[in-house]
Amino acid sequence: QSALTQPPSASGSPGQSVTISCTGTSSDVGNYNYVSWYQQHPGKAPKLIIYEVSKRPSGVPDRFSGSKSDNTASLAVSGLQAEDEADYYCHSYAGSNDFGVFGGGTKLTVL
């Protein structure tokens, strides 16, 4: 099972918006509405910021939003802030008895 494809890097200036893509296949992203996104700051554990494609856990700012079209999921961050600078990983479920697959990660830089 191959990793989901994410761009290695993305960037934007404070206040701007940025979108990170996550491309899978019809066996994972395209077949299930179980795409999640994680934010990881250096030296810290990952934190869930989006689950089931577009839902936000309590406490996650609404500046973060998720969507999906066919085999590609996307994470949009609007009104970029300095604290948004982190690594972002997508994940998709791939069926029963299978944990699924992570993306390779995208390093978001706030210029």
Helix, strand, coil shares of the chain as percentages rounded to 5?
Answer: 5, 45, 50
Give strand ranges (E) for 1-111: 9-12, 18-23, 35-40, 47-50, 64-69, 72-77, 86-92, 101-102, 106-110
Q: Residue 100, interface with another protein (CB under 8 A)?
A: yes
Q: Residue 105, interface with another protein (CB under 8 A)?
A: yes
Q: Which stretch binds another protein (CB under 8 A): 14-22, 50-58, 69-77, 78-86?
A: 50-58
Can you tell me which of 7, 10, 19, 47 binds another protein, judged by CB under 8 A? Answer: 47
CB of 100 to another protein, least distance (A): 5
Q: Which stretch binds another protein (CB under 8 A): 9-17, 39-47, 60-68, 73-81?
A: 39-47
Q: Residue 103, interface with another protein (CB under 8 A)?
A: yes
Q: Residue 97, interface with another protein (CB under 8 A)?
A: yes
Q: Which is nearer to another protein, 17 or 41 (CB)?
A: 41
